[in-house]
Structure 1
């Protein structure tokens, strides 16, 4: 298959994974704007390097790996830079949610966001995005047992946090 046709085929398939990429991006970035930028950067890299994707392999895992590597590269760059975003009040919420389920959902996500990164990442991949332990282990570059252990510990840590035992 010529490169142009392969690139078009991969580009068409990539679109179906945008919602999952947005969810995973939010778990990594913790900020909706940064997550959207991460998704856009991931899509740009994936489409530009579509010829590196091997047909018949897991496109979702390939995209998640690109996103994870991009996130860590960006994080390393940001660690060396100083910005004024912490002082900006424009990102603060003006009114608090009134619905009980919204409050509980916010508490749950806050507990997930307080997890150490390796626990949070595996919890999001397996529990929230529904990836198998095997797919998650490929994305995280660790053993399946490690993923299972991290997910179990992350669940326990979230429960303890929500119950006030953390």
Structure 2
């Protein structure tokens, strides 16, 4: 398979991750386009047998951080943030719950949100996340634990939530 074909396979995952990071569809699409452009210009630097998905997610993350720096934002958690004004589907308790989860997600510090999204949404291993974020595996585990605990507490304290708080589920 060619590099271009391999990259096209991962575009939906890149868009999903970008959308979860930014909370804004247009920004996410621009971020994915910038990622694809940079990857196509630098594919020759990719080592044989490398994990293309992890490489693309790393590029996307670096571009996102660069854009945050240009905007002088450390974390996107302001009153005018898009997720604060998004309407939930009418008469749908599940839609309201998802909106609560989304709001809680964006209240997490960026380092915790990134780990939670890569492990929970993208289903990457701790080792892959550590490589993407360029941090030790233990730090991934610690940030993930703190993110999960913070999400639980945020969802418990939300008075508008119609669903019970998240529960710890064992994979045994």
Same fold (TM over 0.5): yes
- Please tell me whether residue 31 in structure 1 is matched to residue 29 in structure 2: no
Between the aligned partners of 1:155 and 1:65, the Cα distance in structure 2 is 22
Count of paired positions: 150
3-state SS in 1 of match to 2:157 = coil
Deviation, structure 1 residue 55: 2.1
1:3 paired residue number: none
Conserved? CA contact 1:27–1:121, under 8 Å = no
- Please tell me whether residue 79 in structure 1 is matched to residue 72 in structure 2: yes
Using a 3 Å threshold, how does the CA distance of structure 1 residues 98 and 131 change in structure 2: closer, same or farther?
Answer: same
Using a 3 Å threshold, how does the CA distance of structure 1 residues 30 and 93 change in structure 2: closer, same or farther?
Answer: closer
1:127 paired residue number: 120
Structure 1 spans left out of the alignment, 5+ residues: 1-7, 81-85
Greater helix proportion: 1
1:65 paired residue number: 58
Calculate the TM-score normalised by the size of structure 2. 0.80
Deviation, structure 1 residue 23: 1.4
Using a 3 Å threshold, how does the CA distance of structure 1 residues 142 and 94 change in structure 2: closer, same or farther?
Answer: closer
Per-residue CA deviation, residues 1-54 of structure 1 (Å, 9 max, x unaligned), is xxxxxxx81111001111110111122222121111101110111112111112
Find runs of 4+ consecutive structure 1 residues off by over 2 angstroms. 92-98
Calculate the TM-score normalised by the size of structure 1. 0.83
Per-residue CA deviation, residues 67-115 of structure 1 (Å, 9 max, x unaligned), is 01111111112229xxxxx98x9xx556753211111111111111110
Structure 2 spans left out of the alignment, 5+ residues: 74-78, 159-172
Conserved? CA contact 2:89–2:95, under 8 Å = no
- Coordinate RMSD, CA, aligned: 2.2
Using a 3 Å threshold, how does the CA distance of structure 1 residues 152 and 95 change in structure 2: closer, same or farther?
Answer: closer
3-state SS in 1 of match to 2:50 = coil
User: Which of the two has higher C-alpha Rg?
Assistant: 1
Using a 3 Å threshold, how does the CA distance of structure 1 residues 161 and 95 change in structure 2: closer, same or farther?
Answer: closer
Using a 3 Å threshold, how does the CA distance of structure 1 residues 34 and 163 change in structure 2: closer, same or farther?
Answer: same
Between the aligned partners of 1:94 and 1:112, the Cα distance in structure 2 is 17
